[in-house]
Chains A and B, each alone.
Chain A
Amino acid sequence: MPWRLEFDSSRIRTPWWTPIVSVALALVLCAIFIYANGMNPVTVYSKMIKGAFGTSYGITETLVKAIPLLLCGLGIAVAYRISVWNIGAEGQLIVGAIAATAVTIYFPNLSGFWSILLMLIFGVAAGALWGLLTAIPKTHFGVNELITSLMLNYVALLALDYVTFGPWKDPQGFNMPGSPVFTDAQSLPVLGATRLHIGLIFALVAVVIYYLMIRFTRWGYELRLIGANPNAARYAGIHINRHIIIVMLISGGLAGLAGMAEVSGVSHKLMQGISPGYGYTAIIVAWLAKLNPLGLVVTSVLFGGLIVGGFSVQTIGLPSSISEMLQGAILFFLIAGDMVTRFRIRRGA
């Protein structure tokens, strides 16, 4: 053979442009499907971009969607650092939202400050507990965290159905499922007349803390060590199980915070479809950012735009699931791209 593909295992770092190329190729692939379905892909994409970034309303909506993506993506990134594949952010977000709503049901007359503080504590604690339910089976029983965390997503979703159809259903809700609407004291402050809430600050603060913790603390050093070589870390006396539990607590807690921010800042009541799959999208957000904090900010805004853009194509008769399809395709090209760049074409046998 005159030409040969050779795998170069020394190339560990992938070039900076692979995420960009992956996104571009995913757009092309989906364009083909859209075209085959009898629509003009240029119209569809420009509609999506205009919907997400074209107006000031679109931009604030995109940022509103970026908040839970950033929080969940950050949590997922922390766990992925030591190869703990948490895909349960969706469920952790939902239980966070349920727990925050519990505060409004059982302590209805707190002042604004105490109400929000208690909702924060409950939301984070519930998410962290849900993360613990994934961590303990893994560390003590050797159960694959992918299965556990995903099963718990369905359990959380059913729990949401139970409270919104059952005990917490709003008596003044015209028989629609959902909790009573939150009071002003139970709602996060928003920016002016937009829906952009203070959760954005929570998320950005969390990003800075993540960066500082990973970069400058002993804990962050140990995480990086486990991520680079688990066996070496074990020989160095690092308790990997303890780290698994800690990262799952953080991962779940951040998703729980996202859930609290969603109910308190956006929907102002607990209801069906509190998350259009934020927990799943956040997996791609974290991977596309290569677990890098600044990258996480960029990718969560990008994917927030993808969700808003997905909604905006509904006006031309397309389902919003088109954005999910794009997300899956992006992930495919991303993992392929990570590996393709490690091959080299060589001449000769």
Chain B
Amino acid sequence: MTQGRLILSETGRIVMAAIFALVVTLIIIFFASKTPWATFETFITSPLSSKRTIGIWIDDSAKLALAGLAFSLVFQARQFALGVQGQVYIGGLFATLVAFSPVGTTWIALPAGILAAMIGGAIMGFIPGYAKSKLGANEIVSSLMLNYIAYDVCNYILRVYLASLESGLTTSASFPPQSIYPAFIPRTRVDLGLVIALVTTLVVWFLLYRTAWGLKLRLTGHNARFAAYSGIRSSFIMVSAMTAAGAIGGLLGAVFVQGTAYGKLSIGFEAGMAFEGILITIVARNRPLAIPFVALGYGYLRQGAALMNYRADVPAEVIGIVQGIVILLVASSFTVPGKAMLARLMGNRTAASRATS
């Protein structure tokens, strides 16, 4: 397949997924709303209704893209570690600790917070990876358990050491201004997080498609046994992929708490957004460069659902049903038969580097 045709077919797939999502939403709204057409119109048009809502859409999309990138790295290695949520909490916690340390009021606050968050996330990614490769512990279960543990630990430290007494809610005090991303457009949530998401996309793409490590990772993901026979230390690749993905998850945590939308740590700050990265990466078929576009599209639907919650009679949680059904449809309708994939892998190098799903 030439590059042009590949982009065309991938775009077609993503557009198909968007159509699925819209049709599913329309059907649900017809069942759930007393005024379905008006509700559907709210759903479709409201994200663009003001500067503020557009800002939220862009900011959410940047976060969704980061979550998608974290999942795509582990899924490319054909690991099903689902620990991004826990990594986000630990990353957010570490960034918070930096923000309240003496460093937090200096110019180094932002990079230090990001670095600390990435280290925290990387540790959270490493644990299930190591447990899988050295001890044979199932990574799905261990990474999910770590999510619950990270959530509780984060809440504990927040409640006991960081909670600010001025509000009734359990949140920390606001970060010093040096530790909060500056907004690019005043009075919106469009901030440094957008740049971080775009840079991370390019870095992940580069790592996967332009380095030996990335080739080995994708080979391991396609056929672990084949990779092992070709002399690839697949357990090292596996663990390093999960650690790198953990670093992205931690980074997302920093983007959450240091972003203009928050600027502090609060209970359950990611509100389930980390898991929505699964949808992003499945629709993008783990391709880093497609992830920002899918994130923009899904972020739009998500924002539409949230506003529908306020302005119409359909709850925002509907988006979860839409998301699940889109995953089912996308995951089932675009499966490449294993034989064809193997043939492509065994073919010439360029073919191998393109066979990615």
Q: Check if A and B associate.
A: no
Q: Residues of A at under 8 Å CB distance from B?
A: none
Q: Residues of B at under 8 Å CB distance from A?
A: none
